[in-house]
Amino acid sequence: MFTQLPQVVIGAADLCAAFLFMFGLKRMSSPATAPSGIRVAGLGMIAAVLASFLYLFTVDTAAQPHMILNVGLAVAALLIGGIGAWVIGRRVAMTAMPQMVAIYNGMGGGAAGSIAAVELFGGHSQGVTQLVVTLLGGLIGAVSLSGSVVAWAKLDGIVKQPLRVAGQQFANAVVMVVTLGVAGVIVASSLGVEGLLLTTPTWIWIFFACALLFGVLMTLPIGGADMPVVISIYNAFTGLAVGLEGFVLQNPALMIAGMEVGAAGLLLTVIMAKAMNRSIANVLFTNFGAAAKPKAGAIKGSERPTEASDAAIKMRYASSVIIIPGYGLAAAHAQQKLYEFVKLLLAANVSVKFAIHPVAGRMPGQMDVLLAEAGVPYDMIFQLDDINDDFATADVAMVIGANDVVNPAARTDKSSPIFGMPILNADKAKQVYVIKRGQGKGYSGIVNALFYAPNCNMVYGDAQAVLVKMIEAVRGLGAAAA
């Protein structure tokens, strides 16, 4: 029915897709070129999908008529998934972006696990090596799927508290050992070993059930403050699983794209863990935030509130202001109002910079995306290492909805769970204003010593409402002068 297509054409299409993936990822390394990088990588994904349909031309469809049905199902799946993702992606709020990334990442892991399941149940794996790789990809993909679903539930507020019980780590280890043991039984079954009690398909079901359970158990005890790192870890897992299943299918595009995503996710995870002064194992296997209660008398004094108008006037007549955005800015949808206020300061010849901590927000890069959405120029945005020394000479540091990333206890209090974590040195500015909805402890549950510092004043209220008052105060000065 179809003319046989040379394998070299399919290989060339896969190579083109892989090149677009790599070039797109390279362009994502800079905020200025990231939008075009995303588009290039998207073209690579389209090329990879279209290339997969070329395999239809390598088989005799007359002898295998089910291939036509499979193509129809694939097209239907693409339409449903593509349209659904387009609609959801356009409607999702910036505050819900971490949840969306987590659940979509889980879908990638689930897709890799599904490929492994098809290969295992169909008995397509040839040789022990290919079978082991299939099982490993299936294990990682299943863990990424269930773990990402739990991460999504935590970020969306469905699971409100970490679930921690005695002996939890031991139970997790037992589940993993059982999972690996079942994988060994499946390999032994493929070698013809008899007396395994159950049939191979039953062992495969048990294998995936244990892998999914492990992903859930591993993620449930992790605290909210560690969610950015968890998302990054599962992103790396998904990429690795896709790469392994690409090896099983002998698909170069899947192998290259999967390894790229896996390597990038792992590197980002290491960077974020370093920014928290913690190891990845510490994130996954310790109860961060469980000991968050400060020692009695450790923090003296009280929080000192001030009016938004007073803070705005102080910044209007300052020489330099450094702004530290946090998740509270995203929650209030206040990024546009913030930049409007910043433009008023710039018009008054005030030097304004934005300071970004690697783990600010609830997903990697959330603050950078938030500011870019508001139109903040890239040359005003600085990362921790590039701006920390500037706080000592800054007239004002304004913190909006951030907590742990500016907590000086990380430098001084050895009893604090965040001790040793690099922070933004907001407390070293001459004056600090913190915009905060209330007197809560923030997402991680740790009391912030900065809020009690003698050079710090609290501006309570929703960030957008506070910034509206600040804008009015500064504009009022101009009106009075006129």
Q: Tokens in use for 7?
A: 């394998």
What is the DSSP secondary structure assignment for residue 323, as one 8-state letter?
E
pTM of the entire predicted model: 0.77
β-strand partners of 321: 352, 396
The string of pLDDT tens digits covering residues 415-433 is 777 778 889 999 999 999 9
The string of pLDDT tens digits covering residues 8-39 is 777 788 788 888 888 888 888 777 788 888 89
Is residue 277 pLDDT above 90, yes or no? no
Cβ distance 161 to 233 under 8 Å? Answer: no
Contacts of 122 (CB under 8 A, 6+ apart): none
User: Quick check: is 404 catalytic?
Assistant: yes
CA 207 to CA 211: how far, in whole Å? 6
CA 433 to CA 411: how far, in whole Å? 20
Start-end ranges of CATH 3.40.50.1220 in the chain?
308-481
CA proximity to 135, closest of 122, 116, 109, 121: 116
The string of pLDDT tens digits covering residues 114-149 is 999 998 988 766 788 889 999 999 999 999 999 999
User: How large is the average pLDDT for residues 68-72?
Assistant: 77
CA 262 to CA 264: how far, in whole Å? 6
Of the residues 368, 390, 404, 427, which is catalytic? Answer: 404
CA 211 to CA 20: how far, in whole Å? 33
CA 50 to CA 16: how far, in whole Å? 11
pLDDT at 125: 64
Please tell me the CATH superfamily of domain 308-481, with its number: TPP-binding domain (3.40.50.1220)
User: How large is the average pLDDT for residues 65-80?
Assistant: 80
CA 371 to CA 368: how far, in whole Å? 5
pLDDT at 397: 96
CA 47 to CA 243: how far, in whole Å? 17
Is residue 292 pLDDT above 70, yes or no? no
Higher pLDDT, 261 or 468: 468
The string of pLDDT tens digits covering residues 370-410 is 888 888 998 899 998 899 999 999 999 999 988 888 999 88
Cβ distance 242 to 184 under 8 Å? Answer: no
CA 249 to CA 237: how far, in whole Å? 18
CA 244 to CA 190: how far, in whole Å? 19
Q: Tokens in use for 261?
A: 């995503």
Cβ distance 147 to 230 under 8 Å? Answer: yes
Is residue 219 pLDDT above 70, yes or no? yes
CA 246 to CA 137: how far, in whole Å? 9
pLDDT at 424: 94
DSSP conformation letters of 271-310: HHHHHTT--HHHHHHS-TTTT-PPPTTSS-S---B--HHH
Where residue 275 falls among pLDDT bands split at 50, 70, 90? confident
CB atoms within 10 A of CB 147: 29
Residue 323 φ/ψ, nearest 5 degrees: -110, 130
Residue 345 φ/ψ, nearest 5 degrees: -65, -45
* CA-derived radius of gyration, the chain: 26
User: How large is the average pLDDT for residues 105-114?
Assistant: 92
pLDDT at 2: 47
